[in-house]
Structure 1
Amino acid sequence: MSSVTADAPDSGPASESVRVDHGGEDWSPSRAVVEAIAALAGVEPSALADETGLVLYDHVEPDALDALVERRPDRDLAVSFSVGEYRVCVDRDGAVAEPAR
């Protein structure tokens, strides 16, 4: 299950964000983070490290992030962190990435 949503205003400075929903065995929170950042960077998720130099585990432990988010499905939980030039927020439903300001 993946859902990518990009938001950009019609005028003014670009303030783009991308949300990728996670859930199920194939769409972990950490994978949603990679998908969202790749969408903003304009690259395929599998090429993120090669084309941008960004490696998720250099910024957060993916297994720990997945365990934290997936073990609390009934609670309001949001984890925010930076990955390179992107700001990421992961909640129980998805990951949102946007350029850092």
Structure 2
Amino acid sequence: MSTVPAEPVGFPSTVETARVRHGDGGPSPSLAVVEAIADLADVDPADLPEKGVVLYDHVDPDALNALVAGRPDADVDVSITVADYDVRVGSDSAVARRSRD
């Protein structure tokens, strides 16, 4: 995985988050979302479906990629909920955190 150490970004500082950068030779935005969630779940991204986390059940990955990929100078901020995770996807990274109950 290409995660950056967990850090709060746009979320309260007491919340555990995982950030994965996308673009510039890295993963696509949708894959960055999957990798960030997998990092928080402490599983391999390929094992997320076994945990009940399937990105396509929550958002069209191709549409997400088209919306944010290749726009490094744009002010893009997409917020989605994927299973038990809140995710923000910006122009260069995806940040995931566990949803509050």
- Do they fold alike, i.e. is TM over 0.5? yes
Q: What runs of 5+ residues in structure 2 fail to find an aligned partner?
A: 9-13
RMSD: 1.9
Q: Report the count of equivalent residues.
A: 95
Identity of aligned residues (%): 56
Runs of 4+ in 1 over 2 A off after TM superposition: 1-5, 71-74
- Does structure 1 conserve the Cα–Cα contact (< 8 Å) formed by 2:3 and 2:35? no
TM-score (norm 2): 0.84
Instruction: Decide whether the 8 Å contact of 1:2 with 1:22 is kept in 2.
Output: no
The match for 1:80 is 79
The match for 1:23 is: 23
Q: Within 1, Cα distance between the matches of 2:55 and 2:62?
A: 11
Alignment of 1:5-84 (within 5 A): 5-7=5-7, 15-24=15-24, 26-50=26-50, 52-84=51-83
- Separation in structure 1 between the aligned mates of residue 7 and residue 74 of structure 2, nearest angstrom: 26
What is the TM-score normalised by the length of structure 1? 0.84
Q: CA deviation at 1:92?
A: 0.5
